[in-house]
Structure 1
């Protein structure tokens, strides 16, 4: 299934994308794409519905973030061998963990704001993992059973604040609009081989990132297992799993967003995002 949320900011309704690409309204069946709806039982309830019997959504509504009421937005850094190489970093021996604040979450096609005073705002196309079955101390062999679905994430980053402002990556990662999610939450049965999905990002038509999840250092199952040793994972938590090479920081000379650009990005089978870059 491809699940989504549509409508004005803060008033999104749950929806389903049917086989013809038409949005079907789920608001008569569920309250939101969040929490218990993302558990195996909740998803089974949606899967049992006949899409043709659901109301069609007319026109072209705004698409909101594909998950609502996100509890945690956990990210993995330097998780692609070729990206680590372009930044001059060593291959991590364990996953590098940081957080984006949930206030960073926005729709996949909403404007991305460069914060006031920012000078090194960058892009990162990433595979997002949405937890459906919670747990702690999850065995790696069973970890994928805890996934509700996958989505596209743009891990927008302000590099000066991330790297040069006194430590901790979080302050350069969690600014408002720095976490576009969607357009769809794609359930595992339709997501394809998550270990070998092509992914790309363009700025004003120039393709900077053109990679594959196949160069991940730590795969999705290991990341879930690893994180669950330190924190409980709950339905609706989002994990962003790292980016392939081609970020602005890795260009020679470096390229950063100034405002006025258009970013387009996507992952094979998971959809595309388009964001206009504006200054706050």
Structure 2
């Protein structure tokens, strides 16, 4: 199933994406979802970020080749930090570079959307707590990241967390090709099988530190090939089985 969140006729709704049509649903995407008879052409609605998370838990250095790229040893356990959910935007919304003079890079990532409250869950049960998966572009200001020695500020500016286009429930998250293109040129080209810690291990690990609630998001780290973004760029994060998250890049006007 492919859940989308969309704007139509001055209201925000959830729907199921089937081909080029959106079928509006009622109820909760985390439980009792009911189809309605309201159907819209995809071209007639505006897709929004598929979730408005209560919190975003980010995982750093979780791809083997990315660790090699930055010349760091493989972590013994997931490196976890928080970024602000106020940074979230949806498909086709502009990424606004707050400090265009700084090196600010894309990071295509698989995002896990939590479906039910999870506390201290074992690895073997972890995926039972997942609603589905979507794309994330973890925009990162490298100068601030180095200056601060931690990642929250560098990754939490408004528009720095595009999510979408859909939450997909019926895929194997550990067997997906992931690519990032900038102006049509492939910059990142990898596979979630290269992750050091798989999705179940990440959900379990985070749930042993903090309670995860429905709608929370875990972004699972980025592959090798990160590169800087500039005013006028078009960046696309594509994950097989989920779709393509496309955003233009603009300098923020102050």
TM-score range, shorter chain: over 0.9
Count of aligned residue pairs for this structure pair: 250
Aligned residues: CA RMSD: 1.6
Q: CA deviation at 1:117?
A: 5.5
Is 1:84 paired with 2:67? yes
Matched, 1:257 2:200: no
How far apart, in 1, do the equivalents of 2:75 and 2:120 lie?
21
Which string of whole-angstrom CA distances, capped at 9 and with x for unpartnered residues, describes residues 16-69 of structure 1? 112x3311122xx23xxxxxx243xx1xx22x63xxx5211243322100013x
Give runs of aligned pairs for residues 38-57 of structure 1, distance below 5 A. 38-39=29-30, 42=31, 45-46=32-33, 49=35, 54-57=37-40
TM-score, normalization by structure 1: 0.85
Is 1:184 the counterpart of 2:166? The answer is yes
Partners of 1:217 and 1:268 lie apart in 2 by 19
Looking at structure 2, the residues matched to 149 and 132 of structure 1 have their Cα atoms a distance apart, in angstroms, of: 8
Q: Which runs of 5+ in 1 are unaligned?
A: 31-36, 249-255
Report matched runs for 1:46-195 at 5 Å: 46=33, 49=35, 54-58=37-41, 59-68=43-52, 70-116=53-99, 118-163=101-146, 165-187=147-169, 190-191=170-171, 193-195=172-174
Q: What corresponds to 1:253 in structure 2?
A: none
Rounded to whole Å, the distance in 1 between the matches of 2:142 and 2:44 is 35
Q: Following superposition, which runs of at least 4 residues in structure 1 exceed 3 angstroms of deviation?
A: none
What are structure 2's unaligned runs of at least 5 residues? none
- Residue 199 of structure 1 aligns with which residue? 178
Q: Partners of 1:98 and 1:67 in 2: how far apart?
A: 20
Does residue 23 of structure 1 match 2:29?
no
- Higher normalized strand content (fraction of residues): 2
